Amino acid sequence: MKIAIITETFLPSTDGIVTRLTASIRWLKREGHDILIIAPDLGVTEFEGCRVAGIPAFTFFLYKDKQYSLFSKKVGRELDAFAPDVVHVVNPAFLGVTGIFAARRRKLPLIASYHTHFPKYADYYRVSIFKPALWWYARTLHNRAHLNLCTSQTVLDELKERRFHNIHLWKRGVDTEMYTPERYEESMRERLTGGQPEKKLLLFVGRLAPEKEIETVRELLDSSDDFCLAVVGDGPHRSVLEETFAGTNTVFTGFLHGEELASAYASSDVFVFPSTTETLGLVLMEAMASGLPVIAADSGPTREQVRDGETGVLYDADTPGDFTRVVTKLQDEDYRRRLGQLAAEESRSIGWDAPSAQLLSFYEEVASPS
């Protein structure tokens, strides 16, 4: 099968969307499928033997550390030359608009996948007045696809309520060979704790943006000197966070990748996930596979991944002090280890093969309708 994937974000960017895409592309390529990737031009021209057709990229004023591509006739030319059996537009917002209309104009089978709650981000960027328009925009784009995918049941239910059509759940996955408790390294723990490895090490991994609510952790660091925090990632909110956490036991590492990232997970004690706006949060799966108990803000998508009191602990983001109350439970070493062991055991049965095979079945469904 010839598959064209048009995505708003791709390598060298690192986020949950790119993680899912690269894992799926590897599997599809291994199964013998021909793939064209159309993405913002960030210097990457090939991935796993698949050509990456770069579209000129620009900085978006609300998110200045990331580049996006706008409407481009090159998308249509690439589709004409490649002649795909199916087009998959990932998280349509800017470049994806061109992809959707180019595919429809050519009467190509079209799938769109929803990964980011952009309308909900409006509150964090002080543009709440635009939320109805953002929902209309997202719904209008997705309802031009023959089939839509999203990554959690909670989001699926919400999109149905908002009149998105033909929505299906795309299963979660994690690289269980890369993310494992065996990646523990004493030198990494020294680095992440700022030379205080005896303290309980909390880890956050992800894009540093206001909607991630990382400031929540500050209350714990102020109330107890037993903990330290490692923040892995980068983004537009980094300078604000560095100022917020000044004077605390906090280390900012910037982006980590591959084995270095896997070691950061395995060398920590607890993974913290304060966001309530995620559509899934693949970092939760990576942390759990690495043997970390998760402390997460209670939301629909986190409840789908974290079993409260068994593989992690959920807290009420709307209750002041609840995060600190929950974290202190994990000072009990036996309890913390038990949660981490259960998290790792539960994750071992989840890889990327099943979600990738499921994606192929969706491609086949729209390419060969009965």
pLDDT of amino acid 11: 94
Q: What is the helix, strand, coil percentage profile of the chain, to 5?
A: 40, 20, 35
Which residue from 150, 171, 205 is spatially nearest to 15, judged by alpha carbons? Answer: 205
Are 205 and 152 contained in the same domain? no
Are 95 and 239 contained in the same domain? no
Instruction: Give the number of domains in the chain.
Output: 2
Cis bond upstream, residue 12 (ω within 30): yes
Are 339 and 360 contained in the same domain? no
pLDDT of amino acid 61: 61
CATH assignment of the domain containing 132:
3.40.50.2000
- For the segment 13-44, what is each residue's pLDDT rounded down to a tens digit? 888 999 999 999 999 999 999 999 999 999 99
pLDDT of amino acid 326: 92
Residues 198-218 have a mean pLDDT of 95
- Percentage of the residues of the chain whose pLDDT score is greater than 90: 84
Are 317 and 334 contained in the same domain? yes
CA 273 to chain centre: 12
- For the segment 248-293, what is each residue's pLDDT rounded down to a tens digit? 999 999 999 999 999 999 999 999 999 988 878 899 999 999 999 9
pLDDT of amino acid 62: 56
pTM for this model (two decimals):
0.92
Please determine, for residue 154, whether its predicted confidence score (pLDDT) is greater than 80.
yes
For strands 46-47 and 63-69, give the pairing: unpaired
pLDDT of amino acid 117: 83
Which residue from 259, 269, 270 is spatially nearest to 296, judged by alpha carbons? Answer: 270
Please determine, for residue 64, whether its predicted confidence score (pLDDT) is greater than 70.
no
Q: Lowest-confidence range among 121-135, 159-173, 203-217?
A: 121-135
Token pair 């993405």 is at which residue?
A: 39
Are 288 and 361 contained in the same domain? no
CA distance 177 to 158: 33
Are 342 and 357 contained in the same domain? no
Are 188 and 118 contained in the same domain? no
Please determine, for residue 340, whether its predicted confidence score (pLDDT) is greater than 70.
yes
Domain that holds residue 163: 2-173+352-367
Residues 114-138 have a mean pLDDT of 84
Please determine, for residue 364, whether its predicted confidence score (pLDDT) is greater than 80.
yes
Intra-chain end-to-end CA distance of the chain, in Å:
17
